[in-house]
Structure 1
Amino acid sequence: MDRAAVFDVDGTLVDTNHLHVVTWWEAFRQAGHRVPMHAIHRSVGLGSTDLIARLLGEDRDKDRDEELNAAHTTLYAQYFDRLPAFEDAGRLLRRLHENDWAVVLATSASGPELDALRKALDADDAITATASADDVEQGKPAPEPVEHALELAGVDPGRAVFVGDTVWDMRAGSRAGVRCVAVLCGGIARADLEEAGATEVYRDPADLLASLADGPLA
Structure 2
Amino acid sequence: MTRAAVFDVDGTLADTNHLHVVAWWEAFRQAGHHVPTHAVHRAVGLGAEDLVEHLLGPDRDRSGDAALSAAHKTLYGTYSDRLPALPDAGRLLRTLAARGWTVVLATSAGGSELAALRRAVDADEVITAIAGAEDTEEGKPAPDPVRHALDLAGAPADRSVFVGDTVWDMKAGTRAGVTCVGLLCGGIPRADLTGAGASAVYADPADLLARLDGSPLGGDGT
Counterparts of residues 164-175 of structure 1 (less than 5 Å): 164-175=164-175
Structure 2 Cα separation of the partners of residues 105 and 200 of structure 1:
19
CA drift of 1:135 comes to 0.3
SS in 2 for 1:128: strand
For 2:28, the equivalent position in structure 1 comes to: 28
Deviation at 1:193, TM superposition (A): 0.4
> 1:103 matched to which residue of 2?
103
Counterpart residue number, 1:121: 121
Partner in structure 2 of residue 85 of structure 1: 85
Structure 1 unaligned spans of 5+: none
Cα deviation, 1:172-204, whole Å, max 9, x if unaligned, reads: 000000000000000000000000000000000
Structure 1 residue identity aligned to 2:16? T
TM-score (norm 1): 0.99
Q: Who is 1:141 aligned against?
A: 141
Q: Distance in 2 between the 1:170 and 1:190 partners?
A: 12
How many residue pairs match? The answer is 218
The structural deviation recorded for 1:121 is 0.4
- Mapped to 2, the partners of 1:54 and 1:110 lie a distance apart of 20
Identity %: 69
Match of 2:11?
11
**Structure 2 residue aligned with 1:161:** 161
The amino acid that maps onto 1:166 is: T
CA distance in 2, matches of 1:186, 1:6: 17
- Give the secondary-structure state (helix, strand or coil) at the position aligned to 1:129: strand
Root-mean-square deviation (CA, aligned residues, Å) is 0.6
Instruction: Flag structure 2 segments of 5+ consecutive residues without an equivalent.
Output: none
Q: How far 1:23 sits from its partner (Å)?
A: 0.3
* Matching residue of 1:198: 198
Shift of 1:213: 1.6
Cα displacement (A) at 1:205: 0.1
Write the distance in 1 (CA, Å) between the matches of 2:65 and 2:213: 46
Matched residue of 1:104: which SS?
A: strand
Aligned-residue offset at 1:63: 1.4
Give the CA deviation at 1:214.
1.8
Q: Distance in 2 between matches of 1:97 and 1:139?
A: 26
Shift of 1:212: 1.2
Give the whole-Å Cα distance in 1 for the aligned partners of 2:76 and 2:213: 37
* 1:76-118 CA distance string (max 9 Å, x none): 0000000000000000000001111000000000000000000
Aligned residue number for residue 74 of structure 1 = 74
Alignment-mate amino acid for residue 36 of structure 1? P
